[in-house]
Chain A
Amino acid sequence: MEKQWFTISVYSENNVGLLNRISGIFLKRHINIESLNVSKSEIDEVSKFTIVVLTTEKWVHNIVGQIEKQIEVIKAFYHTDEETIYQESALFKIESALLFDERQIQNIIKESNSQIVTVAREFFVLAKSGRRHEIDEMHDLLKPFGIMQFVRSGRISVTKSEMQITALLEEFQHN
């Protein structure tokens, strides 16, 4: 079976220690987590983990089974890239002088569809959301000018089809 990218979505109670429990499932199988995001979900008081892994379908099936088994996990799913709409976000901190001295930077900002979040005397901050490769390309373009700080978030994603959890979660809300 070939390795491919999977996005694992975990709906859970918000609990101290659950992240450790979930990451341990990957550790035990020697599978690297490529990206991780934890946020609230569409349902009140339910957290959502979005985990990206590069592995085979057999393993992702196994992992999702183990995740779902954890007491505080309500439901877990896995999807391929084709089945999801996904993005990452990045912040670039760059010296302010460059904004005025280097015309090319202004072009990069315009063409990359990124936003200037803040401009201070010493630095300005660019925000870019998009696919991993788009952010990587922008990073490569800006690098020659000097990037003071760079950070990229974990993947966030929603599925194209309905996430088969709404009914289950609604049932919880009434309990």
Chain B
Amino acid sequence: METVHVKQKKIEKDTIMKITGAEAIIHCLLAEDVELVYGYPGGAIMPVYDEFYKFQDKLTHILTRHEQGATHAAQGYARVSGRVGVAIATSGPGATNLVTGLADAQIDSTPMVCLTGQVPRHLLGSDAFQETDIIGISTPVTKWNYQITKASEIPEVMAKAFYIAKSGRPGPVLIDITKNAQFEEFEFSYKKCKGVRSYKPVPKPNMETLEKAAELINNAKKPFIVWGQGVILGEAEEELISVVEKAGIPAAWTIMGESAIPTSHPLNVGMVGMHGNYGPNMLTNECDVLIAIGMRFDDRVTGKLDEYAQQAKVIHFEIDPAEINKNVTADVPVLGNSKETLGLLLPLLKNNTHEGWRDEFRKKYEIEFETVIKNDIHPTKDKLTMGEVIEEINLASKNKAVIVTDVGQHQMIACRYAKFEQSKSNITSGGLGTMGFALPAAIGAKQGAMDREVVAIIGDGGYQMTIQELGVIFQHQIPVKIVVLNNDHLGMVRQWQELFFDKRYASTVMVNPDFVKIAEGYHIESKRVSERKDLKSTIQEMIASDKPYFLEVKVEKEDNVFPMIPSGAAVSDIRLK
């Protein structure tokens, strides 16, 4: 067992010194190899902030400009690095401002530990200043939460928090710490958590089901893989590629699974779901065996469930037993960590190529290219498209950037057209669809991967939800590249209004400020591009810069994202225009 004992402070002779709960929290964070926390101070968390001050050479605290920004930064950090992100806030409004980030991390399975201050134990339930029941509020959006009211609970609960956040299907944990517990002194020692008796994070793989799965795959004529973030969280990228290549199976990704297999891989056939690629969606309803790996059949992926892959046998590789048969019934459920289960599956598979079946995907791609993709990334019209901006970023960054997106049209376009060579490179708010995610998440992503280029792609709507985090980028000179694709609309809602609400553009026309001036106000180098002739050179200049850089691109105001599966329609009812 790893045990960390705080060095006994020597005030007089070698007496064992007790430390405060607040200092203990710092030692817990250090013992969990935390180097960076995002947060915002306030009354009920001040003792901990006092310790941040004392320990600033060991632990960096980044003051975000809003607590929501702290959670998204912690998420970006976690998603790019695979480590646990940490956010901290005070009680009351500080704590409630974490809720969106918690919900986002919960639905997208992001390991995060949030710490909140709380009023002293004796004031709990008295409606004291800045008291709020954050345990009650955060329960539905956390994997686990706990209120510490005594300093002596801190080491064990903190160890458990990090263990639970990271193990099994990861998720957010919130620890609420009353102020008296931060002040109290106690004898500190720390043991990392190795297990919780009522919690079995990873189900043991069952060889029998794996053999069944292999038999189905080996006999399949039209097998099709759809993988999700489970592959990335389980670090099973190599195993997935081996399976795909050996059995010659075309494989598509959910938005959360993107980048696990390089975009250029010949068996990577693109994205499934509402704005996914034509082939993978259409052929979902033609495959004979559907192999779902680390994905949860979200409604944005399946469309109408009654008409989703009804003809296929479904094999579901999944770490979370609650996901089995939740939305789509699995003929063969394979429980376990995807790295382990895919590793066990591989030797059971026969070599195959499925050439004819793969041609189906190529043909569908050609149709999509001619009707949609060509016009998106090589437009002939005057106005700039979002797609060509993404394509220029691909070219300038040589497909090596981490792309962080917000929510809306730009997100769909970025996920469709961004190219990746490395896993953990597409950071987006998938399940919750949190506008305002990208700017703070990009800060965290950059700090979690300082050696990598990080490009945030954001719409003009979502950008203004967390625009204040420019302050962090400026203060710490975090060299993220911020690209706002400005169509002066809440584009995705406008698109739905155009298609389904007879163009009644209720509250979707944006009256925007001068974004370049705002960035300049934060002393961030900034440019605006409105014409195609300036696009390539400006993006090259942005990527070449080793400083923070803001780029606003004025794009066509009323472009739509296609293909599209209308809400409630079947995947095979996907529309190309």
Residues of A at the B interface (CB closer than 8 Å) are 12-13, 16-17, 20-21, 24, 27-28, 61-62, 65-66, 68-69, 71-74, 172, 175
Q: Is B199 an interface residue (CB 8 A)?
A: yes
Chain B residues near A69: list those with CB within 8 A. 320-322
5 A–B pairs (Cβ distance < 8 Å), ordered by A:
A17-B135, A17-B146, A65-B324, A66-B322, A68-B322
Query: Which has the most chain B C-beta neighbours within 10 Å: A27, A66, A69, A73?
Result: A69
Cα A17 to Cα B147 with chains together (Å): 9
* B326 engages A71 (CB within 8 Å): no
- Which chain B positions have C-beta within 8 A of A24? 139-140
What is the bound-complex CA distance between A69 and B257, given in angstroms? 23
B102 CB to nearest chain A CB (Å): 14
Chain B, range 144-166, C-beta contacts under 8 Å to A: 144-147, 164
Once the chains are docked, how many angstroms separate the CA of A20 from the CA of B140?
9
A-facing mask of B471-504, CB < 8 A → 1, else 0?
A: 0000000000000000000000000000000000
What is the interface of chain A mostly: helix, strand, loop, or mixed? helix
- Shortest beta-carbon distance, A155 to chain B, in Å? 24
On whether the beta carbons of A65 and B198 are closer than 8 Å, the reply is: no
Which of B140, B147, B197, B326 touches A28 (beta carbons < 8 Å)? Answer: B140
List, in ascending order, chain B residues with CB within 8 A of A172's CB: 197-198
Indicate whether B325 reaches chain A with its CB closer than 8 angstroms. Answer: yes
Smallest beta-carbon distance B237→chain A, Å = 26
Question: In the complex the two chains form, what is the Cα distance from A65 to B203 in whole Å?
Answer: 14
Q: Which of A17, A21, A65, A72 contacts B326 (CB 8 A)?
A: A65
Are A74 and B198 touching (Cβ within 8 A)?
yes
17 A-B pairs besides A71-B164, A74-B197, A175-B197 with CB distance below 8 A are: A13-B197, A13-B198, A16-B147, A17-B145, A17-B147, A20-B135, A21-B139, A62-B322, A62-B326, A65-B322, A65-B324, A66-B322, A68-B321, A69-B321, A69-B322, A71-B143, A74-B198
Instruction: Choose among B197, B320, B325 the residue with the greatest number of A CB atoms under 10 Å from its CB.
Output: B197
Judging by beta carbons under 8 Å apart, are B139 and A20 in contact?
yes
Complex Cα spacing A12 to B324, Å: 22
B196 touches A (CB below 8 Å): yes
For B146, the chain A residues whose CB sits under 8 A away are: 17
Q: Which 6 A-B residue pairings sit nearest by Cβ, starting from the closest?
A: A65-B322, A74-B198, A71-B144, A24-B140, A71-B199, A69-B322
Q: How many residues of B contact A (CB 8 A)?
A: 21
**Contact of A71 with B198 in the complex, beta carbons under 8 Å:** yes
Q: How far is the CA of A28 from the CA of B144 in the complex (A)?
A: 17
Cα distance, A50 to B143, chains bound together (Å): 23
Q: What are the residues of chain B within 8 A of A73 when measuring CB–CB? A: 198
**Could you mark each residue 226-255 of chain B with 1 if its beta carbon is under 8 Å from any beta carbon of chain A, else 0?**
000000000000000000000000000000
Contact partners of B196 in chain A: CB under 8 A: 71
B356 at the interface (CB under 8 A from A): no
Q: How far is the CB of A99 from chain B (nearest CB, A)?
A: 43
Q: Name the residue among A12, A17, A66, A172 with the largest chain B CB count within 10 angstroms.
A: A17
Query: With contacts A20-B136, A74-B198 known, is A65 near B143, CB below 8 A?
Result: no
- Give A13's nearest chain B residue, CB to CB: B198
Q: How far is the CA of A175 from the CA of B196 in the complex (A)?
A: 11
Q: How far is the CA of A36 from the CA of B197 in the complex (A)?
A: 25
* Residue of A with least CB distance to B201: A71
Smallest CB separation, A80 vs chain B (Å): 18
In the bound assembly, the distance between CA atoms of A71 and B144 in angstroms comes to 7
CA distance A74 to B198 in the complex (A): 5
Q: Mark B77-119, 1 if CB is under 8 A from A, else 0.
A: 0000000000000000000000000000000000000000000
Cα A21 to Cα B147 in complex, Å, equals 14
Q: For residue A71, which residues in chain B have a CB less than 8 angstroms away from its CB?
A: 143-144, 164, 196, 198-199
Give min CB distance, A165 to chain B, whole Å: 12
- By a CB distance below 8 angstroms, the chain A residues around B326 are 62, 65
- In the docked arrangement, what's the CA distance between A73 and B322, Å? 13
The CA of A72 and the CA of B142, in the complex, are separated in Å by 13
Residue of B nearest to A172 (CB): B197
Within 8 A of A (CB), among B312-344: 320-326
Nearest B residue (CB) for A27: B140
Q: Are A65 and B321 in contact (CB under 8 A)?
A: yes
Chain B min CB distance to A134 (Å): 36
Residues of B within 8 Å of A65, CB to CB, are: 321-324, 326
* B135 to A, closest residue via Cβ: A17
Q: Are A61 and B325 in contact (CB under 8 A)?
A: yes
Contacts of A17 in B (CB 8 A): 135, 139, 145-147
Q: Is the CB of A12 within 8 A of B198?
A: yes
Q: Which of B136, B139, B145, B320 has the most chain A CB atoms inside 10 A of its CB?
A: B139
Q: Are A72 and B198 in contact (CB under 8 A)?
A: yes
List the B residue with the shortest CB-CB distance to A46.
B198
Q: Which residue of chain A lies nearest to B143 when distances are taken between CB atoms in the complex?
A: A71
- Tell me which residues across on chain A come within 8 A of B140, comparing CB atoms: 24, 27-28
Give Cα distance in the complex from A17 to B144, angstroms. 10
Rounded to whole Å, the gap between the CB of B444 and the closest CB of chain A is: 25
Return A54 CB to nearest CB of chain B, in Å. 21
Give the residues in chain A near B321, CB-CB below 8 Å: 65, 68-69
Contacts of A21 in B (CB 8 A): 139
